[in-house]
Structure 1
Amino acid sequence: MLDLWPHADLFAVCDMLPENERGFLRGREVRTSFIQNLPFARRHFRKYLGLMPLAVEQFDLSGYDLVLSSNHAVAKGVITGPGQLHVSYVHSPMRYAWDLQHQYLRQAGLERGPMSLYTRWLLHRLRLWDRASAAGVDSIVANSAYIADRIAKTWRRNATVIHPPVDVDHFALSESREDHYLIAARMVPYKRVELVAEAFRAMPERRLVICGDGPGLAQVRAAAAGAPNIELRGRVPQTELIALTRSARAFVYAAEEDFGIGMVEAQACGTPLIAFGRGGARDIVRPGTGLLFGEQSAESIAAAVRRFETLAPAMDPRSCRANAMRFSVSAFRARFRSHVEGLMEERKAAAA
């Protein structure tokens, strides 16, 4: 968005980015909310979630004709007037406040007690605000059909699907394959990496390489224990990860993702996908580029791997690469600019 509108002013609830991650801002000033200056905000800003709706509502955006928000929590809640166009690019409605509330409370150890009661009250208030603030957005853009469905369910709004930009040019095509399957993901519960390990432990004749780290690494290690065909490499340099992806027989993914940029990166390398058939994977996988499995279980993954091996000769790396190009940076820029400028032209015509 900043590249499309290089003279735009930038607002954020808070700005804690370290210097080595600020390159994409190209020196722009970031105007932050009062949360930036609250006690302990630098390390614990997420604990101020209950104040974030109030914080974004304090931004004075009355001097702008066009307002773009990139929303995963509260950004769409900025206040705009009838003479302004507000387009919100939505990565997901707040999962922890909607359908994943109970899972969030379990993982946070907040199923009982005073803090549980407070958190449930807070999430209830967030749900009310979340739906009410969605009504103030003129056009909602979702990053996948899956997120468009979630938006329709939670906010009762229609959304235009424009897939996020993926740096496919950074991942070169390879037409040669080795014998390993690959999964690369952060080790957190919803990624379900342990299920992939369990599936391959039951298939000792097939080799699996697992890359990534995180709080769930111990669970993944336990799932892979005693399986010489499974190699855990932990977090690896980007160059090594790309090399592993380019040579893999297939990229295996068991998570229900909002979109799934890692899957597109694998396709850009010419690598087929074996992915769980819910979420963004349904937007990504096309015939001849991979296959989907129906359940998040080791048995379903193992069955998909066996099915893949019968179909693999028909999966051309060049078809995978061509599929990935649908999600390139240039494709996103063209679609998003066209969407926004089309809305602006409609407004001008209506006002004439």
Structure 2
Amino acid sequence: MRVAVVHEWLASHAGSEKVVEQILQLYPEADLFSLVDFLSPEQRQFIGHRTVNTSFIQQLPFAQRIFRQYLPLMPLAVEQFDLSAYDVVISSNHAVAKGVLTAPHQLHISYVHTPIRYAWDLQHQYLQQAGLERGVKGAITRVILHYLRLWDTASANRVDRFLANSEFIARRIWRAYRRPATVLYPPVDVSRFDWQQPREEFYLTVSRFVPYKRVDLTVAAFNRLGLPLVVIGDGSDWSRIEAMAGANVKLLGQQPNAVVTDYMQRCKGFIFPAEEDFGITPVEAQAAGAPVIAFGRGGVAETVVHGKTGVLFSEQTVKSLEQAVNAFEMGMYELNPEQSRRQAEKFSIERFHEQFRACIEQTYTGFLQGNPVE
């Protein structure tokens, strides 16, 4: 079974890349395709130091810095990959990877982290945050997103089977493409955490500093609460977050995994205010035995058990988060570290390997026999 793995872009080792890492471990002979590859030599270990097949976007001016701005060209670029030598194509999709062209004798399985957020249900939020609600640039962006939606819907027909990283994303796939998806939760390295460490008197959040992650909401709530908060991460919103942080908020910037692990094992509680497709960090926090206080929508509603491994608040507001933290401080919930660890182990790497391999091989066997994939 000759396998090709297609991913949108390789520029970091974040959530979707961790899924690709495990797929490549399952299929070590697979070839890897990506629109661009800007991984540093130190980052290449997770792809097995492979040579990556890239698109023409790799060679465009200033691509390393602004490759995301070439989004209008990405549907064309992904269609130029020649995958004719492979039996199975696995696309890792959060933008355009599922749009690759395959032949009738090839099986295409797409693992979807999300349909393109900024082209579908989050378009208005994206335009608002980017300052593109009005004007010529805003009008051009709306036209681009309109045609991107048309292409995205049409290219869904090129996929034989969809896998979704959560029930939340399976519903998004149905809404956008009217196609069913099998839920297969992404892998989380729970083994790196010790859940039996003593807890200390500080709260923790780990996040990229981008608008939809709502780090500002966490900082604003803890400014009012006056409780100690440690914030790990960086991003485009750094200056704004730094300006609003009170004396009780400690900004550490980006930190290596060892530091993140240490803080998760010691924090009193882990704060997660974003609406995420899945959300790996709340699962990691539970693996470390930390109670999770999170906005109860998106993938986190499937990974955190309210009242047992964490507290889910109902509105994405400062007041709602503040009330949840106060309820936790008052001891209204009996949260058990061992129970949190058991919950996190449901999302282990070993479980992902077992389920993903079984899914691919069973689907491919049926495909060869001429059975309907879905």
2:6 is matched with none
Distance in 1, Cα, partners of 2:81 & 2:102: 10
What CA distance in whole angstroms lies between the structure 2 residues aligned with 1:213 and 1:7?
A: 35
Distance 1:106 1:297 in 2: 18
Q: What TM-score results when the alignment is normalised by the length of structure 1?
A: 0.93
Q: 1:259 aligns with which of 278, 281, 300?
A: 278
Q: Which residue of 2 aligns with 1:180?
A: 202
Q: Supply the distance in 1 between the matched residues of 2:36 and 2:195 (Cα, whole angstroms).
A: 39
> What is the CA deviation profile of residues 295-331 of structure 1, one whole-angstrom value per residue up to 9, with x for unaligned ones?
0111111111122235577322111111111111111
Match of 1:243 in 2: 262
The aligned amino acid for 2:273 is A
Could you say if the C-alpha distance between residues 236 and 34 of structure 1 is closer, same or farther in structure 2, counting changes exceeding 3 Å?
closer
The worse-fitting range, judged by mean Cα deviation, of 34-43 and 77-86 is 34-43
Letter in 2 for 1:209: V
Residue in structure 2 matched with residue 144 of structure 1 by the alignment:
166
Q: Deviation of residue 92 (structure 1)?
A: 0.7
Q: Hey, what does 1:304 align to over in structure 2?
A: 324
Q: Which residue of 2 aligns with 1:190?
A: 212
Aligned counterpart in structure 2 of residue 200 of structure 1, from 222, 230, 248: 222
Q: What whole-Å deviation, never above 9, does each CA across 1:3-53 have from its counterpart, x for those lacking one?
A: 111111221112221111111222322111222223332332222211111
Residue 295 in structure 1 maps to residue 303 in structure 2: no
* 2:358 counterpart of 1:338: yes
2:143 to 121, 131, 144: 121
Question: 2:234 is paired with a residue of what secondary structure?
Answer: coil
1:326 corresponds in structure 2 to: 346
Q: Who is 2:119 aligned against?
A: 97
Decide whether the 8 Å contact of 1:90 with 1:141 is kept in 2: yes
- Report the Cα offset of residue 209 of structure 1: 2.3
Answer yes or no: is the 8 Å Cα contact 1:173–1:318 preserved in 2: yes
Report the more deviating stretch, 253-262 or 114-123.
Answer: 114-123
- Percentage identity across aligned positions? 52
Q: Displacement, 1:334?
A: 0.8
RMSD between superposed Cα atoms in Å: 1.9
Counterpart CA distance in 2 for 1:74 and 1:32 is 14
Distance 1:221 1:44 in 2: 25
| Mean Cα deviation higher: 92-101 or 104-113 | 104-113
| Cα distance between partner residues in 1 of 2:348 and 2:205 | 22
What is the aligned length? 348
Aligned to 2:13: none
Q: Distance in 1 between matches of 2:195 and 2:225?
A: 28
2:241 corresponds in structure 1 to 220
Which moved further from structure 2: 48-57 or 276-285? 48-57
Residue 3 of structure 1 aligns with which residue? 25
SS at match of 1:31: coil
Of 216-225 and 270-279, more deviation after overlay is shown by: 216-225
Aligned AA for 2:137? Answer: M
Shift of 1:293: 0.4
Q: Work out whether residues 129 and 211 of structure 2, in 8 Å CA contact, stay in contact via their aligned partners in 1.
A: no
**Structure 1 residue 175, shift from structure 2 partner:** 4.3
Q: Which runs of 4+ in 1 moved over 6 A?
A: none
Greater mean deviation of Cα atoms: 213-222 or 170-179: 213-222
- Structure having the higher Rg: 1
Asked whether the 8 Å contact 1:12–1:31 carries over to 2, the reply is: yes
Distance 1:271 1:101, change over 3 A: same
Distance change >3 Å, CA 116–CA 314, structure 1 → 2: closer
Q: Would you say the 8 A contact 1:174–1:247 is kept in 2?
A: no
Is the Cα contact below 8 Å between 1:175 and 1:317 reproduced in 2?
A: no
User: What do residues 227-285 of structure 1 show as CA deviations (whole Å, max 9, x unaligned)?
Assistant: x4433333344333322211111101101111111111111111111100011111110
Residue type at the aligned position of 2:260: L
- Match of 2:369, SS state, is helix
Find the residue that maps to 1:177 and give its secondary structure. coil
Look up the SS of the partner of 1:36 in the other structure.
helix
Q: What is residue 58 of structure 1 aligned with on the other side?
A: 80
1:97 shift after superposition? 1.1
Q: Residues 231 and 74 from structure 1, CA distance in 2 versus in 1: closer, same or farther, beyond 3 angstroms?
A: same
CA contact (8 A) 1:11 1:31 kept: yes
Q: Secondary structure at the match of 1:109?
A: coil
Matching residue of 1:21: 43
Kept in 1: contact 2:264–2:270 (CA 8 A): yes
The residue type paired with residue 63 of structure 1 is: A
